[in-house]
Each structure stands twice: as C-alpha cells, then as structure tokens.
A and B are shown apart, each in its own frame.
Chain A
C-alpha cells in the first residue's frame, strides 16, 4: 500500500496530495488521455467525495473522472502503478518509463511520421518521384489521358501513376442516399406536418385548413472498405488506397480495414488530409504488406470484432480483393455469407476482372461469388469511375 499523501481528509484534500494528483493528471495527458484543466479539477472534486485513505476508492474516483473510453483503461492502470510508487519523481521521467514499458500506447494516432517511411514502403516509386526531368516532360494532353484511363495500373510507368493518382484524388463518389427518420419540409409529398399545419390554420382563423407537408431527410449510407494488401494485389494496392483516401475525405462515416494475413483498422490514418502522409503512416503501421492472403480468417476477424460496431445504420461494404486465398474455402464462404447477412450491400471489386476471359476458377473466388451483390473490375481509372456510378445507385450489374 502506497502512502497516497499524508493526512488526506474527507473534507478537503491536503495540499500536497492535490499537487500530486494534478501531476498525475499531467502524466496521463502526456500518455494521450484527453484531460483539460476542467477535467483535472473534476478529478480533485471527485476525490473530495470519497474516502481517499482507501486506495480502491481513490483509484476508482480518478478512474471514473478521467478515463472516458474503454481503450484508456490500461494506460490509466499502468500509469497509476508507476506514478504512485514514488509520486514525487519528475513527471517526464515517469512518462518515459510509461511509454517504454508499454505496448499500451501502440495504436494511438501519432503526429506526423517522417517521409522516410513512405520511401521505405515503396522505395522504387519514391525514387523515380525525385527525377525532375521526367516530371517536366510528362504533361498529359487530353488524348493521352484517354489512354491513361484505360491502362492497367500494374502496367503504368511512374509518371503515369502520378497522373493517375491526381485523377483519383479528384474523384468523388455520389452514393445514393438512404432515408433517415428525420424530417424536412416538403411540397405536396410525404406526410402532413401537423405542427406547421396548425400554425398556419391559426393564422387564417380556423376557417380554412391549408395542409403543410414533410418528408424524410436523406443521407449517404456508411461505407465500409475491406482492402486486400497481399502480394498478389501489390500492383493495385497503392492506387486503390488513394481511391479509398479520396472517399474518406469526401464524406463522413467511411471505415477502412486492410488485410493480408491479419486485419488492421486503418480508418484513422486515412483521415489525414495529405494522401502521401496518410499512406506513409499506414506503411509503418500495417505489418503484412505484400505477404500472403488469408481472406477467410480476416473476414472472420472483421465479423467477430467490428461488424456490429461499423455495420449499423445501413452500411455498404466494398471488398477489394483478387479472391486468391490460401485458406479453407469453406471458412471463406461461411464468413462471406455472414457478412452479406449483416449488411445492406456487398460489392466485390476485383482487379482480376480486367481479363475479359476471366473465369472464376480459384476456389476462393467461387466461395465468395454467391455472396456478393456485384462483382466489378478495379484495374484502371475507367473502372474506378464506373464504380462511382454504381455506388451512386444506378442499376447494379450482376
């Protein structure tokens, strides 16, 4: 049992303890908890309401005041242990120890990562990027951009890729909105808006009832992207992630997950405004770039841990993958079926569809096909544009 500060009484906190608690708050802030001065004062008030000589009440009072989400519980626990062992050590020292000690802080957004990570992620392209002469020469004319639209990403040169990247960043997805249960005034459609009707009736003195109308508001559905980053997709991953980045920037409620052999939630990295920065940070976060594929396993992970959190409210799911899976096709089929059951629409975007003679031979592909609403190509700019059309609600090709 640690001495929590001498003589803490129920009425007012001893001055020394108050100071220590404040420093403890600073430590937590350093570790990433969102604590403003108001919260710190709140914590002190909470302590006055409990018996601070009891370690458990002391602990849980600060916990209830300062921990505001489940993810912060472990950080709090670890910080509490380290800090109160010797509450008079400099906060910085404890913070260092805390950051070093833990796998805890992993997964929190970090400020800017260096651009070197981007280079490490895709060294070859980054190298060509530096070449100023090439950049001068390549100015796409209209006709060459037509060619570009149909060229396979995998066969593009570095400069063409760059041009395509820019085109993708300009893309916007007009997704067909879903009805919400909120209302907006309407002209002679929807249902009668009684509140406005009564008001208007009053104005005319009741002799004449002029009906006012209202109809449901609409808004775009949530979008969940599951993107394959395994080796067989390497030629497309970069472009497709840019596309996803463009989606994320254009609207709220886009969740992105990457998978190769395991599933990673990439949503927050793709929220960075600068796509290079977003991809760079992703590059350093995700472990299994260009490795093997375990689609079934990854989907299972998604279904178990994320589906209920991100698929509510009528989400549309985009699965971006070539369907080349090493796992048991039965597992893959079952997980696809489950995914299909818990969502409004599943669209499968498959770069392999670029081959006109593409036949669904691979077992993985056959397992997935019955459970998708649409199977669409995504190997060039043209197909991405077509996808934008599809998502906007035109007829879905089967």
Chain B
C-alpha cells in the first residue's frame, strides 16, 4: 500500500462504511458501501456514474463530513485548464514586487526571478490544494461531472491520480504526503477514458427501489408524515417507468416532499400533483405529457397499490 497515511480513523469494514454514511444521513446499500470501503482502504479513486439526481456528489460530501476531512471540490467544465484547476501565479503581486525591486535598486535578476516564482506567489487551485494534508489527514477531493471536462484535462488528471504529484516548472515537483480520498462523478454525457477507469474503483448508482427511497427521503425530510412519504415515493417510482426526457431523481423526491409539506398536504390529489409537477419534471415537454390525465391515472394506480399493500 502506498504512503503511510493515517488510516486509523477510517472504518475498517463495509458495515463500518455503511454506518459512517448513515451518520451523515446518507442511506447506502451494501454494493456502494463495498466500493467506498475499497477506495478508502486501498487508497484508489472512486468513480461514480449514474443518472442525474441519484446522489453521486453527495457521496463525496458525506465522506468528508463523516471522516472530519476537508472537502475540496472541483466542478468540471469544458476547457478547464491548469490555471483554474491546479495553480496560477499571482500576477498582480508579482508586478508590484518587480516595481519595488526596481525602486530599491535591486540588480540581481536571477534572484528576483527565484523570489517571484516561489511558493509564496503561487495561488493554489483545488488539485494542488488536495495534495496537502492537515495534521496528517488528507482531504476528500471531489471531482464533479468529469464528463464535462475535455480530453486534455482528463489526461492530466490521469497523471495526477497515478502518483499524486504536480510539477510546477518554476518550483519543481510537489508531492502529496498522503494521497487524498478521491471521488469522481460522471453523468455520462461523454465516455470517460478506459485508462482512467482502470485506475478507479467503479460503481454505478441506480435509482433506489421504493423501500430504500422511502428511507432516504424519510431521513432527509425527518418530520414528513409516513402517509405522504409513501405516496410521493410510489408516484415518483411510477414516473420513472414512463418515457421522459429527464426522469426525476431522488433529489426531486426530496424537494417535492418538502414542497408538499410546505403546502400543508399529507396526501396527494390530482390538482396538487398538477400544480407542483414542475418540481419533479424539468422539461416543458415532460410536464405537458404527464399533467392531467396521465398524472391522475398514475395517482389512481398508486392509491390502489397502497391500499392493497395495507390490506395484507
């Protein structure tokens, strides 16, 4: 195992990881907990893929919270470059420094240059920041939506993740004392390169089944009435079976529950569903497809199923 990182505070088992996540209100099944556990103990990045709204980003945040580590988040976009992701020189201060040196009659140029391009003029961006441990405890590095970044950035990242070091030409190589805990998420708008996949533990996050979704929403909206919760989850689950441009995720279930509670509802009726559908569906085409008849029909089925289930 590389590095002598302080692993004492890491949970030593899959069950331990599950409890850790649960302590942060994140309900994980064993498959996810196993993948997280492996990433932690074997110190390799965790690559999470899945549809939007299934809780990929949360995993990174929750890990940082549960382990008491700093969270460093890098949001990816096309054209993400070294200056935004890794480091940048503080040009304004360098300019001032040059003027001061000039005024003071400093003539040793090579010394001035060495001063100007030293660590004190370096602005650290997320990836460089992530190499630094505090009190022997490396941070959690969350690289969000890597699929949005372009190939050159991915290639750079691959290099970084293999030996956790960054070379700044003017300074030299900066190496991580302890490798950070790395969580990478992707929505699959583009395929991530094989080489990067190989380096990671991989997990596909699916929409949860009804039972687990009830748990998740229940934990996140603690005072939600059971009656409402059951209906919200059953309705959202049935929406996921229709052909939509954007199927609602768990995040939408949570938002919807909160909205319905704010409206003082403890159940669903067609009018309320129609009025609040915009919280679940984010495309006009989808809303107009579901609103009215379809919604009423789904709702009817949900009520029937729930009634049948409670008869058992």
Which residue numbers of A lie inside 8 Å of B, CB to CB? 34, 36, 38-39, 45-46, 49-51, 54, 56-57, 60-61, 63-65, 67-70, 73, 180-183, 194-195, 197-198, 201-203, 205-207, 303-304, 308-309, 312-313, 334, 338
Contacts of B14 in A (CB 8 A): 50-51, 54, 57
Q: Are A304 and B245 in contact (CB under 8 A)?
A: yes
Q: Are B78 and A181 in contact (CB under 8 A)?
A: yes
The stretch among B29-37, B274-282, B300-308 that forms the contact with chain A is B29-37
Query: Is B134 part of the contact surface with A, judged by Cβ < 8 Å?
Result: no
Question: Measured between alpha carbons, how far is A34 from B193 in the docked complex, in Å?
Answer: 13
Interface residues of B in 172-209 (CB under 8 A from A): 188-191, 194, 197-198, 200-204
Q: Are B81 and A64 in contact (CB under 8 A)?
A: no
Q: Are A56 and B30 in contact (CB under 8 A)?
A: yes
The stretch among B63-71, B89-97, B215-223, B249-257 that forms the contact with chain A is B89-97
Given A34-B194, A57-B14, A65-B201, check contact A46 B189 (CB 8 Å).
no
Given A49-B38, A303-B245, check contact A39 B101 (CB 8 Å).
no
A-B contact pairs, 7 of them (CB 8 A): A46-B42, A54-B14, A64-B201, A67-B202, A67-B204, A194-B91, A313-B190
Determine the residue in chain B with the shortest Cβ distance to A337.
Answer: B285
Q: Are B31 and A70 in contact (CB under 8 A)?
A: no
Determine the residue in chain A with the shortest Cβ distance to B189.
Answer: A312
Q: Are A57 and B30 in contact (CB under 8 A)?
A: yes
Q: Are A202 and B198 in contact (CB under 8 A)?
A: no
Determine the residue in chain A with the shortest Cβ distance to B103.
Answer: A206
CB distance from B311 to the nearest CB of A (A): 32
CB distance from B101 to the nearest CB of A (A): 7
Q: Are B101 and A50 in contact (CB under 8 A)?
A: no
Contacts of B244 in A (CB 8 A): 304
Q: Are B79 and A180 in contact (CB under 8 A)?
A: yes
Which one of B37, B80, B285 lies within 8 Å of A338 (CB-CB)? B285
Question: Measured between alpha carbons, how far is A50 from B13 in the docked complex, in Å?
Answer: 7
Contacts of A309 in B (CB 8 A): 188-190
Q: Are B152 and A64 in contact (CB under 8 A)?
A: no
**Size of B's binding interface in residues, CB under 8 A:** 49
Q: Are A198 and B116 in contact (CB under 8 A)?
A: yes
Contacts of A38 in B (CB 8 A): 198
Contacts of A181 in B (CB 8 A): 78-81
Q: Are A206 and B99 in contact (CB under 8 A)?
A: yes
Instruction: Taking A54-B14, A182-B81 as given, write out 13 further A-B residue pairs in contact, using a Cβ cutoff of 8 Å, ordered by the A residue number.
Output: A39-B198, A46-B38, A64-B203, A69-B49, A69-B191, A180-B78, A180-B150, A181-B80, A194-B91, A203-B109, A207-B102, A304-B243, A309-B189
Determine the residue in chain A with the shortest Cβ distance to B12.
Answer: A49
Determine the residue in chain B with the shortest Cβ distance to A56.
Answer: B30
Q: Are B38 and A202 in contact (CB under 8 A)?
A: no
Q: Are B243 and A64 in contact (CB under 8 A)?
A: no
Q: Are A60 and B31 in contact (CB under 8 A)?
A: yes
Interface string of B28-69 (1 = CB under 8 A from A): 001100110111011000010100000000000000000000
Question: Measured between alpha carbons, how far is A11 from B197 in the docked complex, in Å?
Answer: 27
Q: Are A50 and B98 in contact (CB under 8 A)?
A: no
CB distance from A131 to the nearest CB of B (A): 44
Q: Are A68 and B79 in contact (CB under 8 A)?
A: no
Contacts of A183 in B (CB 8 A): 81
Give 6 nearest A-B pairs by CB, closest first.
A181-B79, A60-B34, A68-B197, A64-B35, A206-B98, A64-B201
Contacts of A313 in B (CB 8 A): 78, 150, 190
Given A180-B79, A195-B91, A309-B188, check contact A202 B112 (CB 8 Å).
yes
Which one of A65, A198, A304 lies within 8 Å of B91 (CB-CB)? A198
Interface residues of B in 223-247 (CB under 8 A from A): 243-245
Query: Is B119 part of the contact surface with A, judged by Cβ < 8 Å?
Result: no
Q: Are B197 and A69 in contact (CB under 8 A)?
A: yes
Contacts of B109 in A (CB 8 A): 202-203, 205
Interface string of B261-285 (1 = CB under 8 A from A): 0000000000000000000000001
Which one of A64, A195, A197, A312 lies within 8 Å of B190 (CB-CB)? A312
Query: Is B159 part of the contact surface with A, judged by Cβ < 8 Å?
Result: no
Contacts of B163 in A (CB 8 A): none
Q: Are A202 and B243 in contact (CB under 8 A)?
A: no
Given A65-B38, A181-B81, A182-B152, check contact A198 B188 (CB 8 Å).
no
Which one of A51, A54, A60 lies within 8 Å of B35 (CB-CB)? A60
Contacts of B31 in A (CB 8 A): 56, 60, 63
Which one of B30, B42, B189, B197 lies within 8 Å of A308 (CB-CB)? B189
Question: Measured between alpha carbons, how far is A201 from B189 in the docked complex, in Å?
Answer: 43
Contacts of B191 in A (CB 8 A): 69
Which one of B13, B102, B189 lies within 8 Å of A205 (CB-CB)? B102
Query: Is B113 part of the contact surface with A, judged by Cβ < 8 Å?
Result: yes
Contacts of A49 in B (CB 8 A): 37-38, 41-42
Q: Are A60 and B116 in contact (CB under 8 A)?
A: no
Q: Are A64 and B38 in contact (CB under 8 A)?
A: yes
Q: Are B37 and A50 in contact (CB under 8 A)?
A: yes
Residue of A36, A68, A70, A207 most packed against chain B (CB within 10 A): A68
Contacts of B116 in A (CB 8 A): 198, 202
CB distance from B72 to the nearest CB of A (A): 22
Which one of A50, A56, A303 lies within 8 Å of B38 (CB-CB)? A50
Which one of B37, B47, B95, B202 lies within 8 Å of A198 (CB-CB)? B95
Contacts of A57 in B (CB 8 A): 14, 30, 34
Question: Measured between alpha carbons, how far is A207 from B106 in the docked complex, in Å?
Answer: 12
Contacts of A50 in B (CB 8 A): 13-14, 34, 37-38
Contacts of B89 in A (CB 8 A): 194-195, 198
Determine the residue in chain A with the shortest Cβ distance to B34.
Answer: A60
Q: Are A70 and B49 in contact (CB under 8 A)?
A: yes
Q: Are A68 and B198 in contact (CB under 8 A)?
A: yes
Q: Are A198 and B30 in contact (CB under 8 A)?
A: no
Question: Measured between alpha carbons, how far is A338 from B289 in the docked complex, in Å?
Answer: 14
CB distance from A68 to the nearest CB of B (A): 4
Determine the residue in chain A with the shortest Cβ distance to B151.
Answer: A252
Interface residues of B in 73-90 (CB under 8 A from A): 78-81, 89
